[in-house]
């Protein structure tokens, strides 16, 4: 067999574009959402490109890929794309193909939606399927939450768009720190140290430097390290650096919920997500407490937000104290920041609501 060709980079995107996209490259004039999951982009030349957006579990088999390729061959001249939220988009240049494609997707139970004021796909991570540091699973919670919120994927009845993301540990791969609702796996106990093997497996200076709160000190006597328990907030970064520091604790690992992040610059600009619920139990396979909490947040926001108000804008308007009152979520000492920029989050004004 031929030796690998190196440094060739990705396939050229131009070879992957349907003719209508090549012909109208940079000439698109406007777009409309015809109905949930179906967009039309209209070019200066009058050409129309229909996009049918379908949900995907992200973790998919080659059988699934071949199935959507069959659909793309049949209705889209062999072209499709994926979105930055893991949805599949069928790029249809013949209007007459839209309805037959929708019918076939419906028959295959591949949901169409995720446009406009909807809840689209959940950006998520590896979980127990492939990662070594997770505090929870990714795919299982995502499936459970999307099953419960399914109607919001296929409709556009919310006040604004709502983005949900999940990360299985606080490395926060993905978009958890900037989503309307974020689900984050957390640990709650200090790592256990395997003193006997640590020096064989790990680089101690790297290990001490890996701690955000400087809780780790070398222990030269044991050729190991010590962790000051009262400084450790269980981030697990030391475990990332060293297998002899074991953070995973099934009895205590859990899920937290964050709200009010956004990415886009429209109106109020990008925001971080902030802690709403510090602890919910890991309860596979359906994580009912997590699903219930997310659903509750969606419903309270949807019932109270003004048209066009995303989660962060709604909370901005009503204040955090009203957020906790209206949602009924307990406010705890966990909610008050005590990391490096903590003081910037304190209330330095007498303006607040009772």
Partner 1 sequence: MTEAKKTPLLDELEKGPWPSFVTEIKKAAANSPSAQDLLGQLELSYEDKKGHWKHGGLVGVMGYGGGVIGRYSDIPEQFPNVEMFHTIRLNQPSGWYYNTKALRQICDLWEKYGSGLTNLHGSTGDLVLLGTRTENLQPFFDEVSNLEEHPFDLGGSGSNLRTPSCCAGPARCEFALIDTTDLCHDLTNEFQDYLHRPMWPYKSKIKISGCPNDCVASIARSDFSIQGTWRDDIKIDQEAVRAYVAEGFDIQGLVIDKCPTKCMSWDGNELTIDNANCTRCMHCINKMCKALRPGDDRGATILIGGKAPILQGAMMGWVIIPFMKLEPPYTELKEFLEKAWEWWDENGKTRERIGELILRLGMRNFLRAVGLEPVPQMVNAPRANPFFFWWPEETVQD
Could you tell me which stretch among 126-134, 219-227, 296-304, 316-324 binds partner 1 (CB under 8 A)? Answer: 126-134
Residue among 97, 118, 137, 278 that touches partner 1 (CB under 8 A):
137
Nearest approach, Cβ of 143 to partner 1 (angstroms)? 5
CB of 99 to partner 1, least distance (A): 21
Using CB under 8 A, which of 46, 220, 307, 328 touches partner 1? 307
| Residue 252: CB minimum distance to partner 1, A | 10
| Min separation Cβ 238 and partner 1, Å | 11
Q: Work out whether 143 is an interface residue with partner 1 (CB under 8 A).
A: yes
CB of 354 to partner 1, least distance (A): 28
Q: Per rule CB under 8 A, is residue 248 in the interface with partner 1?
A: yes
| Residue whose CB is less far from partner 1, 79 or 320 | 79
The four Cα atoms 169, 171, 172, 177 give a dihedral, to 10 degrees, of: 120
Could you tell me which residues are beta bridge partners of residue 184? 167, 256
The token pair at 337 is 């920041």
Cβ nearer to partner 1, comparing 150 with 331: 150
Q: Is 192 helix (H, G, I), strand (E, B) or coil?
A: strand
Residues numbered 167 to 206 that lie near partner 1 (CB under 8 A) are 170-175, 177-178, 206
Q: Which residue's CB is nearer to partner 1, number 243 or number 330? A: 243
Selected range binding partner 1 among 11-19, 224-232, 292-300, 326-334, rule: CB under 8 A: 11-19
Which are the contacts of 58, defined by CB distance < 8 A and separation ≥ 6?
86, 121, 124, 139, 142
Determine the interface stretch with partner 1 among 1-9, 189-197, 321-329, 345-353 (rule: CB under 8 A): 1-9
- Closest CA relative to residue 91, chosen from 134, 129, 40: 40
Write the CA distances from 57 to 26, 172, 191, integer angstroms.
Answer: 31, 19, 33
Nearer of residues 161 and 327 to partner 1, judged by Cβ:
161
Name the minimum Å distance from CB 325 to partner 1: 25
What number of other Cβ atoms are within 10 A of residue 133's Cβ?
17
Footprint (CB under 8 A) of partner 1, residues 263-302? 263-270, 272, 282, 284-286
**Would you state the structure tokens that stand for residue 133, as one six-digit string?**
């540091």
Give the DSSP per-residue string, 20-53: HHHHTTT-EEEEEEEETTEEEEEETTS-EEEEEE
Query: Which of 98, 102, 146, 290 lies at the binding interface for partner 1 (CB under 8 A)?
Result: 146
Least gap, CB of 341 to partner 1 (angstroms) = 7
The C-alpha angle with vertex 61 and arms to 119 and 14, in degrees rounded to 5, equals 75
Q: Residue 50 class from Cβ within 10 Å (0-12 exposed, 13-18 middle, 19+ buried)?
A: buried
Radius of gyration of the chain (CA): 24
Rounded Cα gap, residues 118 and 152, in angstroms? 5
The crossing angle, in degrees rounded to 10, of helices 98-107 and 62-75 is 150
- Rounded least distance, CB 7 to partner 1, Å: 4
**Does 156 help bind partner 1 (rule: CB under 8 A)?**
no
348 binds partner 1 (CB under 8 A): no
Interaction residues for partner 1, span 46-105 (CB under 8 A): 49, 51, 55-66, 69, 72-73, 78-84, 86, 88, 91
Judged by beta carbon, residue 24 or residue 327, the one nearer partner 1 is 24
- Provide the pairing of β-strand 164-167 with 181-186: parallel
Nearer to partner 1 by Cβ, of 103 and 214: the residue is 214
239 binds partner 1 (CB under 8 A): yes
Please return the burial class of 10, using the count of CB atoms within 10 Å of its CB with bins 0-12, 13-18 and 19+: exposed
Task: Identify whether the C-beta of residue 54 lies closer than 8 Å to the C-beta of residue 88.
Answer: yes
């Amino acid at each position: 067999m031929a030796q690998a060709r190196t440094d060739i980079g990705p396939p050229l995107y131009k070879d992957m574009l349907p003719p209508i996209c090549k012909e109208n490259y940079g000439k698109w004039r406007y777009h409309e959402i015809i109905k949930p999951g179906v967009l039309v982009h209209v070019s200066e030349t009058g050409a129309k490109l229909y996009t049918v957006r379908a949900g995907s579990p992200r973790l998919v088999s080659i059988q699934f890929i071949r199935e959507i390729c069959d659909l793309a061959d049949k209705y889209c001249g062999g072209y499709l794309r994926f979105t930055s939220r893991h949805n599949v988009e069928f790029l249809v240049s013949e209007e007459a193909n839209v309805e037959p494609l929708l019918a076939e997707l419906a028959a295959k139970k591949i949901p169409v939606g995720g446009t406009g004021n909807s809840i689209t796909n959940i950006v998520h991570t590896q979980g127990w399927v492939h990662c070594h540091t997770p505090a929870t699973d990714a795919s299982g919670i995502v499936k459970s939450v999307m099953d419960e919120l399914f109607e919001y994927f296929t409709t556009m009845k919310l006040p604004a768009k709502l983005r949900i993301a999940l990360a299985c540990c606080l490395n926060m791969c993905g978009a958890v720190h900037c989503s309307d609702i974020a689900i984050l796996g957390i640990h709650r106990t200090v790592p256990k140290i395997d003193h006997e093997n640590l020096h064989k497996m790990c680089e101690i200076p790297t290990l001490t430097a890996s701690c955000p709160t400087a809780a780790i000190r070398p222990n030269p006597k044991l050729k190991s390290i010590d962790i000051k328990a009262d400084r450790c907030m269980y981030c697990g970064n030391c475990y990332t650096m060293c297998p002899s520091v074991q953070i995973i604790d099934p009895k205590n690992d859990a899920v937290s919920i964050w709200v009010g992040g956004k990415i886009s610059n429209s109106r109020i600009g990008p925001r971080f997500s902030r802690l709403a619920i510090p602890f919910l139990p890991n309860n596979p396979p359906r994580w009912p407490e997590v699903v219930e909490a997310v659903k509750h947040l969606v419903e309270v926001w949807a019932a109270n937000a003004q048209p066009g108000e995303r989660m962060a804008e709604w909370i901005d308007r009503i204040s955090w104290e009203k957020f906790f009152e209206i949602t009924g979520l307990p406010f705890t000492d966990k909610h008050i920041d005590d990391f490096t920029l903590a003081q910037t989050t304190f209330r330095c004004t007498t303006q607040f609501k009772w």
